[in-house]
Structure 1
């Protein structure tokens, strides 16, 4: 083999070796991102006052990047600051006197930092473990979802049901983990929403709680109808003249979802499109029935009863 051929063979072997090293390095970086870059950060939320009047804040957690770019958690402002005071009244007085300072603009998180993903293009940083804490407030008990762990998960592009594990009665003899389920993110102007539900039983110290779980998801508009079955007793006349009591099933339906406020401007300036001369009184905010059908039958007492079932839903003011 001549000198030129030997040099070509050497360069080829060197290229293959470097390619393998780069590939292994990339795999190690991806594995590191999946395991270490997506972590739980503290995020305190003020939820109210307990029965003694003391402000209550809960660390609900936040899944955020610890690799690449800035990973500063969002400032909690007054919710974190009021923990230093014995009561909400003292906190408000301190705020009025300038004790509770607002975060400086220099420390505010930049949009590019918020959108940066530590998991790569095909993954997203999501919670993997959530527990449900029950907090007794002055107005009554309240359930709060608290993130326990985070990790990079594969980004889903289709509308499917996704697992969502929640731990109830954490660190008690009644601790139970339930997959309540969820739906993947919105796509192409539609929302991936739950369309079928089931229930799971969770034993408690006082009774049995019924937990609603998501079984199936589908692409829907913001306001949509879901099945909701109710049962009634009805009297049916048989061919031989005997009256028979039967169970009647009616899918009365339910309207779910929210309606966007939309553009409330009815008349804009011809010279300056940013200027609005006339605003709508109220935006459309509620999702309600648009059409229905009636089911009439004879009840147990021999009286005619009519049940309406929703056939479609729409946004209405």
Structure 2
């Protein structure tokens, strides 16, 4: 066999080998992490009592990535561990002493165990369902996670799609992109990616038409922030020649959104994952209220001077 043909055969064999290796370690890994490592798990939440007085708990679900991650203690395990101590203070002291002790180095991760969702991905819900539950206090909408998948992390503050299904399993079932804001990791301290502009969508029901609020734009804002809120009024304008003209006056009166909290709520964090909090404490809360305002005066249809105040800034107030 001549040399050129031999080199061609060697190159073909090398190409096939590399293709199999890459498909095994990349394609299979992506498919495996998206469908297996990131899964919906049951998460029951008590929402109240129904009209008969019976307690109502709903499986709202939770997205968890479990491949290659640290083993998280279950709720039952934490309860058993707490029951061994006479008080919560003793339980916290025991936890604190154990975290201070030097821990042996962890064994290397098995080669066949894949990391959950990869470095640049996060396990997030891909489908939500809104169930209306009739409680003793009245109807309540509960959001239920249907499916989970590994999604790419977004560093910028942008509006992201969020599909929600309303009136599932009925002739009025509708899927609406209500939208949401990305979890911006590069945000400055004290700032969050929050909705600043809203829109609406109509959903037909057997009794009436429901108006669903949707997110149309997001921005980096502090925890307490102002958003536009436009109101319209009729204004009478007096011209120099004595002619009166009725015009439509637009005023952005604004609204204060966001939550204000002081202090740290977490009393006990997981030693393996500091993001996980096992014990929360009550925290002082304050409201997001207007800080500054400006006045808009105009002549209304009845010839009277009307003054409308608009919010210019917001702040947290106890």
Q: CA distance change for structure 1 residues 297 and 143 in 2, over 3 Å: closer, same or farther?
A: same
Question: 2 CA distance for matches of 1:242 and 1:209?
Answer: 44
Contact 2:227 2:255 in 1 (8 A): yes
Question: 2 CA distance for matches of 1:120 and 1:177?
Answer: 30
Question: 2 CA distance for matches of 1:236 and 1:73?
Answer: 70
- Tell me, yes or no, if structure 1 residue 160 matches structure 2 residue 158: yes
Structure 1 unmatched ranges of 5 or more = 1-10, 78-100, 264-281
Q: CA distance change for structure 1 residues 26 and 208 in 2, over 3 Å: closer, same or farther?
A: same
CA positional deviation for 1:247: 1.3
1:240 matched to which residue of 2? 241
- Tell me, yes or no, if structure 1 residue 258 matches structure 2 residue 259: yes
Question: 2 CA distance for matches of 1:283 and 1:62?
Answer: 28
CA positional deviation for 1:141: 0.5
Contact 2:196 2:217 in 1 (8 A): yes
* Pairing of 1:60-71 with structure 2 (within 5 A): 60-69=60-69
Question: 2 CA distance for matches of 1:315 and 1:227?
Answer: 18
Q: Give me the CA root mean square deviation.
A: 3.2
CA positional deviation for 1:300: 1.5
Question: 2 CA distance for matches of 1:142 and 1:156?
Answer: 32
2:80 matched to which residue of 1? 104
> What is the number of residues matched between the two proteins?
263
TM-score, normalised by the number of residues in structure 2 = 0.74
Structure 2 unmatched ranges of 5 or more = 1-9, 83-98, 100-105, 107-113, 265-282
2:137 matched to which residue of 1? 139
* Pairing of 1:38-77 with structure 2 (within 5 A): 38-69=38-69, 74-75=74-75
Contact 1:39 1:151 in 2 (8 A): yes
Question: 2 CA distance for matches of 1:215 and 1:146?
Answer: 22
* Pairing of 1:166-177 with structure 2 (within 5 A): 166-177=164-175
Q: CA distance change for structure 1 residues 117 and 214 in 2, over 3 Å: closer, same or farther?
A: farther
